[in-house]
Amino acid sequence: MPMQNNHQMLEKLQTPCLLLDESRLRANIARMKERIAGLGVAFRPHLKTAKSLDVAHIAMASPKGPAMVSTLREAEYFADGGVRDMIYGVGIAPAKLARISAIRARGVDLAIILDSAEQTEAVAAHIRATGDPIPVLIEVDADGHRSGIAPSDAATLLGIGRRLTDGGATLRGVLLHAGDSYSLNDPSALAAAAENERASAVMAAENLRSAGLPCPVVSVGSTPTARFARDLTGVTEVRAGVFMFGDLFQAGVGSVAMEDIALTVLATVIGHQRAKRWIIVDAGWMALSRDRSTAKQAVDQGYGVVCDPSGRPYPDLIVADANQEHGILAIRGGSSATLPNLPVGSRVRILPNHACATGAQHDRYHILDGGGSVSAVWPRINGW
C-alpha cells in the first residue's frame, strides 16, 4: 500500500511507530528459503509474526501459499488475500470448528492440529454434522516444551489416528514444534535439538504408517532448529516465522545476527533526568511490549537496544525501564560508555526483544528503502 507522498523522512513520522527494513526482510527470507531447499524439504512460512499480506507474498512460494497461522483472524485475513493452503497451528478448540469450516467453504485448504481424544471426538462430531472432512495433523511433543503426544506413545497416537479416519477426517500427518530450542545458544546443542525434533517426527510418522494409517505430511519447525538442522531425512516440510524480522532474543539464541534484525520501533526523545543519567522517549511498553525474554540470556537487553536513525546501535544504550508510554534510556550497568547527546525532539530506533510481541502493538509497517526513507506503508492485523 504505497504512501500518498511516496517517500517520507523519519522526522516526519508520528511516533512511536513500527519500521521495517525491506532489504533486511528480503535477505532473511532468501537465506532461509535457500537453506531449507538445500536440505531437500518444502518450506511453510509461519505468518504469526508478520500478520501482513505484503510480507506473506515475499515469504510464500506462491500467492496461494503454503502458510502457517496462529489465529483464525489471520486465517480469515490471508484467505481474503487469496491464500489457499494454511495450517492453523494451535490445538483446536471445539467452539472454533464452525469457523474453520466457514473458511474452508471459501475454497481454502485449512488444516487443524490436535493431541487429545476429547478434541478428536469434537472433530468427529462436527464432521458428522457438517460433512466437512477437515484435514488434521496430530501434534507431537519432541521436547516437553508445550503441547503434543510423546513420539513413543504409539497407543495414544494410533488411537487418535484411527478415530480421526473412522470419523471422516482427513489424517494429514504429524506436526512438531521444538520450542525448547529457544532456551539454547550453543550451535552444537541447537543442532542436537533439531535432530531430536526430526527423529521424533519420523518415529511418530512411522508408528502411524506401520499401523496402516496415512501420514503424508511430516511437519517440523522453529526458527532455531530451521537455522541449525543438518539433516531432515523423513521430514516433508519446515515451518519458521520470526527469522524474517529477527529480534534480540533470537540474536541471543544465535538464530539471527544483530545486523540482520529488520524490525525497529521509531521513538522521539521527550525529556531528560540528568541526575539519574536517563533519557526519556515516547515509546513505553505499549509500543515495545512487556516482553523481557532476554533477561534470562547471557546479555540482558532491557526492553530493547537503542540505535541512531540509521539503525546503528549506540554503545551499551538500552531501554532500561518502561512505563506505559514512557521509555527510559540508560547505559547498561557496568559499562563505561557515555550517554549520547540526544536533545528533545531527537529520533531513535529501538531493536525489540521479541518481534511477535512488539509487532502486535502496531497496525502497520513503515517500510524503509535503501536510502533510509519510508517508501510505503504495509498494513498488518491483530486479534483472534
Residue carrying C-alpha cell 525497529: 264
pLDDT of residue 144: 80
pLDDT of residue 145: 81
Per-residue DSSP letter, 124: H
Per-residue pLDDT of the chain (384 residues; tens, 9 = 90+): 333 344 678 999 999 999 999 999 999 999 999 999 999 999 999 999 999 999 999 999 999 999 999 999 999 999 999 999 999 999 999 999 999 999 999 999 999 999 999 999 999 999 999 999 999 999 999 888 889 999 999 999 999 999 999 999 999 999 999 888 888 899 999 999 999 999 999 999 999 999 999 999 999 999 999 999 999 999 999 999 999 999 999 999 999 999 999 999 999 999 999 999 999 999 999 999 999 999 999 999 999 999 999 999 999 999 999 999 999 999 999 999 999 999 999 999 999 999 999 999 999 999 999 888 999 999 999 999
Contacts of 93 (CB under 8 A, 6+ apart): none
pLDDT of residue 89: 97
**Whether residue 309 has a cis bond before it, omega within 30° of 0:** no
Give the side-chain half-sphere CA count within 13 A for 147.
13
Q: Which 3 state secondary structure label does DSSP give 160?
A: helix
**374/10 Cα distance (integer angstroms):** 7
Domains of the chain: 39-245 (3.20.20.10), 262-379 (2.40.37.20)
Hey, how many other C-beta atoms are within 10 angstroms of the C-beta on 298? Answer: 7
- The secondary element (H helix, E strand) that includes residue 264 is strand 263-273
> Are the C-beta atoms of 176 and 139 separated by less than 8 Å?
yes
- The secondary element (H helix, E strand) that includes residue 86 is strand 85-91
**12/373 Cα distance (integer angstroms):** 10
**341/332 Cα distance (integer angstroms):** 16
